[in-house]
Structure formats: structure tokens, C-alpha cells
Amino acid sequence: MSGRPAILVTGGAGYIGSHCCRALDAAGYQPVCYDNFSTGHRSFVTGALVTGDIADKATLAHTFAQHDIVAVMHFAASSLVGESVVDPQKYYLNNLAGTLALLDAMRAAGCNRLVFSSTGAVYGNADSQALPENYACAPINPYGASKWMRARAGGLSRGLWARFIRTALFQRQRRRSLGRNR
């Protein structure tokens, strides 16, 4: 224990999660990276590391107790649109059922602060690049649908203070850093 407030970052070894862990560390928090390394990278980890799946309630409960987690930043998700069409069950199990397990663990631990990563895919084939947050959701693939459902589950959890962010901004910045200006 570092004496700093601990924040659990699910998917903390992925692109967005690892950047958030670095920012948390620089801001004086103790990031606790929680990742199953299905797509994450050990070299990206900042802070304490817990190797686990978000659907594993026992590992989640142990993590909350061991690290005295005060908030969660939830970035763990399956995120390939094409794969979601071929294997939708994977997306509903990981993105929705896994999130529900995380919300249960948070509730059991008395942790009620959540920053939640969503995606522009919840809007389906929207005509505009600049959409207000209240734009109607109409996902057209299992990836977008599973992220929309988990946002609904997170927002409707009793006693949970949630903030939702769309990852489109992060993805645009990533493309620019890779030399792709789209």
C-alpha cells in the first residue's frame, strides 16, 4: 500500500488504460492495473498489477479488499467490430456480463465511483462526426450493442456515480500519432 488513493483500471495494460494509469500516477493516485492480457501488454503496466478477468468475481473481490479501491476506470472490453459479428457471444459475455460482475464487486466493496469507457459505435451509422451525448443510440453490430447495454447497466446501478466517456477522441489522437490523419 502506497498511502495514495487506489484506483482500479480495468484493461489497464491496453492503449487507453495504460495512458490513464500513467496520468493517475502522475496526479498522485495509485493505479491498480487489472488486465487479463488478452490484448494488453505487460510492458504498458504502471502501478500495481492484478492479472484477472472482469468476470472473475473472486479475483475482483480480493482486489478491492487488498488495494482499498476508491474508484474504478473501466476500459476492459472486446472491441473489434468484425469479430463481434462473427462471435457475438464473446462480446456479450465480456462486455456486458463482465461489466455486471464488476458492478457487483464494486457494490459489495462499497465503491461507488466509476469512469466508464464507451464508443461511438453505440450511435450506429450516425451522419455527423460531432454528436451530442444525448444523440439517439442505434448500434448496428454486437460490439456497439454490447457497449450500449453495459452503459445502460452502469448508469442504472443503484448508488453508483458514473461518468461516461466516448473513446473516439483517444482513437483520433492515436491515429494522428501513427501518422494517419483521419
* Tens-place pLDDT, residues 14-23: 998 999 999 9
pLDDT greater than 70 at residue 167: no
pLDDT greater than 50 at residue 177: no
Residue type, 75: F
Contact between residue 12 and residue 40 where contact means Cβ atoms under 8 Å apart: yes
Q: Which domain holds residue 114?
A: 6-177
Most confident of 61-70, 111-120, 151-160: 61-70
1 found inside a domain: no
125 found inside a domain: yes
Q: Phi, psi (5° rounding) for residue 104?
A: -60, -45
Whether the pTM exceeds 0.85: the reply is: no
138 found inside a domain: yes
- What pLDDT does residue 113 have? 87
Q: Which candidate in 29, 34, 92, 143 is catalytic?
A: 143
In total, how many domains does the chain have?
1
Q: Higher pLDDT residue, 71 or 174?
A: 71
pLDDT greater than 70 at residue 75: yes
What CA–CA distances, in Å, run from 172 to 26, 121, 166, 167? 23, 14, 11, 9
Q: Higher pLDDT residue, 133 or 95?
A: 95
Average pLDDT over residues 152-166: 52
CB within 8 Å of 102: residues ≥ 6 apart? 10, 54, 60, 72, 74, 76
Residue 32 sits in a domain of what CATH number?
Answer: 3.40.50.720
- Is 92 catalytic? The answer is no
Contact between residue 102 and residue 144 where contact means Cβ atoms under 8 Å apart: no
Q: Higher pLDDT residue, 27 or 81?
A: 27
E strand segments, the chain:
6-10, 30-35, 48-51, 69-74, 113-118, 161-166
182 found inside a domain: no
* Tens-place pLDDT, residues 108-142: 999 988 887 766 666 667 766 676 767 777 667 77
58 found inside a domain: yes
pLDDT greater than 90 at residue 42: yes
